[in-house]
Amino acid sequence: MNHINISIINQFPQAFEKSLIAVIVTQENVDFLKSLWKNFPQNPEIFTKEKSISIQPNENECIVFQGYQHFKDLEPEKFRQHIFGWVTRLNKMEFENLYIYFPGIENHPQSKLLIRSIAEVPILSNYQYIHLKTKKEWNSLKNVYFVTENLNWENELNIATNVAKSTCIARDLVNDPPNLLDSVILSQKAIELGKKFGFRVEVFEKSRIESLKMGGLLSVNLGSKVPPTFSILEWKPEHPKNDKPIVLVGKGITFDTGGLSLKPFDAMSTMKCDMAGAAAVLGAMCAITSNNLPYHVIGLIPSTDNRPGENAYTPNDVITIYDGTTVEVLNTDAEGRLILADALAFANQYEPELIIDLATLTGAAVVAVGDMAIAMMSTANHDVTEQIIKAGFEVHERMVQFPLWDEYKELIKSDIADLKNVGPRSGGAITAAKFLQHFVKYPWIHLDIAGPAFLNSPDSYRGKNGTGVGVRLLYHFLETYEHWNKSQN
């Protein structure tokens, strides 16, 4: 990850060095800007339409005037897209400094989100995973300056910087190749991140997982050479706003071949991303702790790879999950739900306020919503569910809610065990969730991130390959939801 400094300054420097200066023009601030800029573009379109005009007074400066009609026309995501455009352009010009000037930004109804974008989008847009290349070509962007009279925004910039960096940590984990990130290394990285950011980490090794009888995780691991791990992360600030913890569960399949139900090669080619749920949980823990969020949060990460080694678990096997449920395996490629079943059943002992799991769980979720959305299912109450949907829109990690009707459960009943691990092809994202629901005894939100976790072609500040989806969402959701149960004593 390359480092960018994000800071606030209250006036422009006398002279610019290799700088792109972005100025936001609306009908509300155009007169003020005209009075300020002697070479302000005379073109009226700039503030009557969404349009940008750029001037290059000398080889060290490029000024971009970005017009919007009114403050209200500026949705946070539109602003983010423009910031991504400026960063891209700046890097192309091999400039180092980005100045963003938006007089009146504090009058925007979503000013906080806009200001956070000023830190978050350059970091996300400038993300590179190139440390394995022998010749590293780093982007040129080094400094982002938010020009404003109001220095109080510094706190918002810091918060956003921490969240964006945590998203990049999740991206790194997803992009790490499977020979450099197996279940054991993932647990070691969790310990390192815990030390660095201040959350507690305990790792169960194979013997402990065996004594706990986590039959899902152990069965999936049978074909592997690397032992499974089960990592428990915990952040408990001094006076948490929630009495009972929020438990985050992340699927940590470090590589998914499908096992004996082997995937075709094209479907296998991106399967290092099958631990993106685990990466999101780790990234979220980093973001939560670095910003000192006043919530008690626990993260659970069951991890193994899924391979067809000689001892590999087999279709028709019946295995026993941590809570005693028996499962008939019909497809060894439906392994994520087996390791999550152990983790979700394990989560019940905390009597949590809420459980959220994140998993690259089903191809069916990708078929349904592509890489533009998370397939979400929820047993949490209406307020909580609405809040996570709203948070998803606000950070643009949007979700579509699917039902958890009882009829779907009929589709995963086994002839010889309590459940089978796959239903029919249709409704696959929902039957996978119904399978998980069997193990959960507390309010629960399921986020199937199979679509947006990994992109084969670049998309704006989400980049290419691992996106770190879930980190910004979880952080923003926890930060904005206020109504956790709190005893009145």
Per CB under 5 A, contacts with Zn ion among 191-220 are none
Identity of the residue, 53 or 262, whose beta carbon is nearer to Zn ion in the bound complex: 262
Query: Residue from 120, 156, 182, 256 that binds Zn ion (CB under 5 A)?
Result: 256
Per CB under 5 A, contacts with Zn ion among 272-301 are none
Shortest CB 432 distance to Zn ion, Å:
11
Query: By CB under 5 A, which span of 88-96, 99-107, 256-264, 453-461 interacts with Zn ion?
Result: 256-264
Query: By CB under 5 A, which span of 32-40, 82-90, 253-261, 409-417 interacts with Zn ion?
Result: 253-261
Identity of the residue, 163 or 419, whose beta carbon is nearer to Zn ion in the bound complex: 419
Which of 18, 80, 189, 337 does the annotation list as catalytic?
337
Rounded to 5 degrees, what angle do the CA atoms 382, 163, 301 make? 70
User: Is 263 among the residues known to form the active site?
Assistant: yes
Shortest CB 474 distance to Zn ion, Å:
23
Shortest CB 306 distance to Zn ion, Å:
6
Identity of the residue, 261 or 289, whose beta carbon is nearer to Zn ion in the bound complex: 261
Shortest CB 161 distance to Zn ion, Å:
35
Shortest CB 258 distance to Zn ion, Å:
6
Residue 32 CB partners (closer than 8 Å, separation 6+): 103, 104
Phi and psi at 282, nearest 5°, equal -65, -45
Which residue's beta carbon is nearest to the bound Zn ion?
333
Query: By CB under 5 A, which span of 164-172, 249-257, 307-315, 316-324 interacts with Zn ion?
Result: 249-257
- Please report the DSSP string for 122-147 in residue order: HHHHT----TTSSS-------EEEEE
Distance CA 172, CA 188 (A): 15
Identity of the residue, 61 or 335, whose beta carbon is nearer to Zn ion in the bound complex: 335
**Spatial CA neighbour of 251 closest among 227, 225, 216:** 216
Identity of the residue, 182 or 333, whose beta carbon is nearer to Zn ion in the bound complex: 333
Shortest CB 465 distance to Zn ion, Å:
19
Shortest CB 337 distance to Zn ion, Å:
9
Which of 263, 409, 441, 464 does the annotation list as catalytic?
263
Amino acid at 8: I
Token pair, residue 328, equals 């008939």
Distance CA 389, CA 394 (A): 9
Identity of the residue, 328 or 333, whose beta carbon is nearer to Zn ion in the bound complex: 333
Per CB under 5 A, contacts with Zn ion among 320-349 are 333, 335
Identity of the residue, 120 or 371, whose beta carbon is nearer to Zn ion in the bound complex: 371
Query: By CB under 5 A, which span of 65-73, 131-139, 177-185, 254-262 interacts with Zn ion?
Result: 254-262
| Helices and strands (H and E) in the chain: how many | 16, 20
Residue 378 CB partners (closer than 8 Å, separation 6+): 384, 385, 388, 401, 404, 444, 445, 446
Report CA-CA distances (Å) from 131 to 79, 127, 184, 435. Answer: 30, 12, 21, 39
**Spatial CA neighbour of 465 closest among 174, 199, 62:** 174
Q: Which residue intervals of 198-311 are DSSP H helices?
A: 206-211, 215-221, 265-268, 276-290
Query: By CB under 5 A, which span of 163-171, 255-263, 282-290, 293-301 interacts with Zn ion?
Result: 255-263
Number of residues lying near Zn ion (CB under 5 A): 3
Cα dihedral 97/99/100/101 (nearest 10): 180
Shortest CB 304 distance to Zn ion, Å:
12
> What is the number of other CB atoms lying within 10 angstroms of the CB of residue 207?
9
Cα separation of the two ends of the chain: 46
Distance CA 468, CA 256 (A): 19
Identity of the residue, 121 or 174, whose beta carbon is nearer to Zn ion in the bound complex: 174
Does position 305 interact with Zn ion (CB under 5 A)? The reply is no
**Spatial CA neighbour of 462 closest among 395, 362, 401, 365:** 395
Query: By CB under 5 A, which span of 79-87, 248-256, 366-374, 391-399 interacts with Zn ion?
Result: 248-256
The three-class DSSP label of residue 4 is: coil
Half-sphere exposure of 244 (CA within 13 A, CB side): 15
User: Is 92 among the residues known to form the active site?
Assistant: no
Catalytic residue list: 263, 337
Site residues (CB under 5 A) for Zn ion? 256, 333, 335
